[in-house]
Amino acid sequence: MLKAERHKYIMTKLIEDQKVVTTDLALALDLSEDTIRRDLNELDSKKLLEKVYGGAVQVKEKSANVFDIAITAEEQKKQIVSKALSLLHDDQVIIMSGGSTNLVFAKLIPADLKATIYTYSLPIAMQLSQHPNIDLIFIGGKMQKNAMVTIGMDVIQVVSKIKADICFIGASSINIKQGLTEVGYEISIVKKAMIEASDRVVSMFASNKLNTKMPHGVCDLTQLDTIVTELDPEDERLDEYRKSGVFIL
């Protein structure tokens, strides 16, 4: 009996019974339990089933819920963005780009802050729509699906008319020479417009983004007012950035 046949048998059996037991399969297929276990491990690593002690069960369906956004290293991001909370004041006009760091930031904005926030990120807008005192303006346009942000001329047009006190820009990559750079061209354009429209430009990111580069330039370091990472502002990895004149929080 070929391995492929066995795997098929196992998967059929699994659907039938919601589970398979190693010893039963060994008996039914007249093979050693070792082989069955190896099969189960293989199927498990292909995510076709879930190996458990004594056998295997069906993979529980991935919540399939569009609305729960996974944030990697959320704790680290909380640590970063909480430093930036001091930059917020009542009556500011704020622009926020997308990105999970900014999303974490949005969650932590104090409930009593009264401000106007422009954003073009769906998750951030969802988050801020729960905020009692924020005037929230969503910048419409064509959706870029994976990032859940709007892009394109519509966005640029709106952004370029805003007179903002401060903007928070997520960063794909940053380095000394090229400054902020982005994976996508469209996003880079929008961010340029954001910077143009804001008195103060803040970028928050984890230190692993330092000294990396993406294809599309956004701005050089001199155009950034403040950067925020999880590092101590005096950390030597930030030395060169400090020299460039950007304020490090």
Which parts of this chain interact with a copy of itself (CB under 8 A)? 2-5, 8, 18-19, 21, 50, 52-55, 57, 65-69, 120, 122-123, 125-131, 135-143, 145, 148, 150, 154, 158
The whole-angstrom separation of Cα 107 and Cα 109 is 6
Q: Toward a copy of itself, which CB reaches closer, 18 or 86? A: 18
Q: Toward DNA, which CB reaches closer, 28 or 136? A: 28
Q: Toward a copy of itself, which CB reaches closer, 91 or 236? A: 91
The partner in contact with residue 57, picked from DNA, a copy of itself, none with C-beta cut-offs of 5 to 8 angstroms by kind, is: a copy of itself
Using CB under 7 A, which of 45, 46, 47, 53 touches DNA? 53
Sign of CA dihedral 174, 178, 181, 183: negative
**Taking the complex as a whole, how short is the minimal distance between the CB of residue 90 and a copy of itself, in angstroms?**
18
Cα dihedral 199, 241, 212, 117, rounded to 10, equals -20
What's CA 158's distance to the chain center, in Å? Answer: 24
Sign of CA dihedral 123, 129, 133, 136: positive
Count other C-beta atoms under 10 Å from residue 169's C-beta.
27
Q: Toward DNA, which CB reaches closer, 22 or 181? A: 22
> What DSSP state is assigned to residue 237?
G
The partner in contact with residue 37, picked from DNA, a copy of itself, none with C-beta cut-offs of 5 to 8 angstroms by kind, is: DNA
85 forms part of the interface with DNA (CB under 7 A): no
Q: How many residues bind DNA (CB under 7 A)?
A: 20
**Taking the complex as a whole, how short is the minimal distance between the CB of residue 187 and a copy of itself, in angstroms?**
15
The partner in contact with residue 108, picked from DNA, a copy of itself, none with C-beta cut-offs of 5 to 8 angstroms by kind, is: none
Q: Which of 136, 138, 167 is nearest to 155 (CA)?
A: 138
Q: Toward a copy of itself, which CB reaches closer, 50 or 196? A: 50
Using CB under 7 A, which of 11, 28, 31, 126 touches DNA? 31
Give the tokens for residue 207: 């230190």
The whole-angstrom separation of Cα 141 and Cα 144 is 9
Q: Toward a copy of itself, which CB reaches closer, 123 or 179? A: 123
The whole-angstrom separation of Cα 150 and Cα 222 is 27
Using CB under 7 A, which of 8, 15, 27, 41 touches DNA? 41
Residues forming beta bridges with residue 127, ordered by sequence position = none
- Residue 37 burial (C-beta neighbours within 10 Å; 0-12, 13-18, 19+): middle
The partner in contact with residue 34, picked from DNA, a copy of itself, none with C-beta cut-offs of 5 to 8 angstroms by kind, is: DNA
The partner in contact with residue 200, picked from a copy of itself, DNA, none with C-beta cut-offs of 5 to 8 angstroms by kind, is: none
Give the tokens for residue 49: 């089933």
Q: Please give the backbone phi and psi of residue 197, each rounded to the nearest 5 degrees, phi first.
A: -85, -5
Which positions lie near DNA, rule CB under 7 A?
1, 3, 6, 22-23, 30-35, 37-39, 41, 51-55
